[in-house]
Structure 1
Amino acid sequence: MRNNRKLTLKQTADTITSSSYLAKIEEGNYPPRPHVLQALERKFEVCAGFLTNYERRDEDAEYILRLLLSNIVLHPDKAKEVIDVIEENYFEYLSPINLEATYLCLKCAYYFKINDTKKAIDLYENFIIHYIDETELRSYPKLVRESFNYMMALKMFSENMIKESTYYMEMFVDSVEQGPMKAAVIYNIALLYGKLELHSKAIQFGLKAKFMFEYTKKYEILLCKTNNLLAAQHMKTGQHEEALQYLKQALITATKYGYTELLTLIYHNKGLINIDLKKYSEAEEFLQKSIEIELAEGRTPLWSAYRALIEIYIIKEEKEKGFQLYQALHENNLTNQNKPYITILFTDFILKFLNNEEYLKELDRAIEYYEKQNENELLYRAYRSLGDYHFQEANYKVSSIYYQKALKY
């Protein structure tokens, strides 16, 4: 069976790595020599021993599956290349069945990773649930457990089940060897704890990931993301000076390597911190930078950046600037696709500066639109603001109606 495969292991390795040093592999030499595996590890920047330190060596496919797992975590853009090689040359050799189950879990994880949820769910429902009994997971080989737990973490995240995603991600990271992949998973766990508003846990895991990335002296973009995450979590706990220090480190890296998406987040967070510190001019400057980068890149800016700008204009009573922003958002092709959202975003500004019949009716229409969409957070903000507005106007009955609506959310 081995001799009938479309590509030899040598050719497969060359396909994946395009490196001349792999040409020394002789056909039929199973398993690959250690220096070949070390070359693969260097090529894909996985930790030393990742491919070589495992119990069974009787299946070439297991080497490639481990490579695929590493790439999905660290290099999703390279993972498709490995999947193609497996599909063309190894799929029929994924034996025993635990290797096939591993591959299906990893392929499903890849689809979740690139946000192709439909393919991921189809694969999960049509195959994986028939291959793996989760109640028996402890009895499965290590690679199967790792792949299943990582896939389930991504699946739960796609379904916005953050607590469950965190559980599976921690199960996964416990079995991963030290190295960049473990650091990347720990960073993801920190992100999940941040979403759960468990800021001390997010900081704990974030610091661990930061130390590991600094130790490897690689993966600058992940280190930059980790510093930005730590800044955001310190900001939410009121530790503004610490947050600014992490942002300073992140800004140096993001500027050096031109990570524009990260620059957007960094300037956004610096803006929010300066609002908390009541440094409104500095906050406005950073938020504008965040928005300008996104517009220049042809992306829709963070709506939270606009919300923060509106807050500044209300505090500083800069009606003209606020109105110019309101008009600009309605006219810009990147932002005007959802005009009801823009209107609700400006609820407090409209109630303070544009509280005439025209704009109040526009606000009512936007609220009615989102009531049909059942957008809870947006409606809660709008109802609360309208309740406050009518209370100040001594319209207590109307105010009470809006407060009651807000309480439903």
Structure 2
Amino acid sequence: MSSLKLRPPFRVEHVGSLVRPRELYEQRTLVEQGKAKREDLLAAEDAAVQHVVKLQRDLGLGTITDGEMRREVFFEGVFDKLEGMTDLPHRPMSEFKSYIPHVKLMAGMGFTELPSYYCSGKIKRTVPFYVDHFKALKSVVPPEDVSRIKVNMCPPTWIHQRHGSELTYDPAVYHSDDEYFDDLGIAYRAEIKELYDLGCRNIQLDDPTFCYFCNDDMINGMEAAGVDHEALLNTYIRAINLCTQDRPGQDLNIGLHMCRGNFTGGIHFAEGGYHRIAVKLFNSVDVDTFYLEYDNERAGDFSPLKYLPLNKVAVLGIVTTKSPKLEDAQALKARIHEAAEFVANGVPRRSKEAALNQLCISPQCGFASTWQGNPVTEEDEKAKLRLLLEVAKEVW
């Protein structure tokens, strides 16, 4: 397990994706309409990255991302790059697990197929996932800020959670989930090592899977289907730990963002507090930082934070990206102190000061997990980030 030297590095972070500037949005629209080619996006993406880097630096945010300007959707860039994965752009809904919250929602919306992948051969990382993105971002960031760059990547669980063991990989290639995730772990570790060698010190896995285990509807659906959800949760924890083991350096911070859904227009998929998974999650997942969604009542209360170990940081996502309405600063400060009380009185007990030192704040998710974005403008985005910064200055 990692041994984080509790900094925590930055009191305020944004989770990753940012609202696309108008020029990039319009160019992406043309590509989607077939009126432009993918390569026509490159200049607009380069300009958008420079724009959002300036935005983050001007605001004074701790970490800097490229806002996922080069992605269509947050999970793009891993499974589409791996050798052994077959692209299935029209996979029928019958091959998706109907109890998965976002699958259930999309089926209800009338979708009969979704794009996905199938593992038809041995998994190998023959090309990087995000190395080129990191290099491009590094080129527009002052040398002293390179250590602040954060790279977001989708989790190793993404395909498996939607299709299960029987429809994720060819049984002639992998005989078990362990074998499948073993090779995925090798691929992720190679990516992390290359990013680290280039100067990356912050990596965040964006994973809606764990919050799905907090959702009663999914748990009931799994039990009805004869799926052992506790065993599967253990499998997914192991999958993350395979990616994060053998850190290339102790100064590498790896975070896990657990999302309840942040689809186009700010649609959520899952509900339920962290109570069901908190003990196992906080104590068994080998990451340094947990990004937790706490922007509304669907997330439950802060009581699961009593299980936060002494060597972990929790980033409280207490400002929503799903609405332009600006939160009340005093209410946010009260919520931070409420969370700190649960941490302080947890297992083991610690001082309130020590508990606050284990907390940071952020929006609950990105402002644009898909390129179309949430129902917020760039000005709304900046107002919410400024609010978080003002609150952090007063609390810490």
- TM, length-normalised to structure 1: 0.26
Greater helix fraction, Structure 1 or Structure 2: 1
Structure number with the bigger relative contact order (C-alpha 8 A, sep ≥ 6) is 2
- TM, length-normalised to structure 2: 0.27
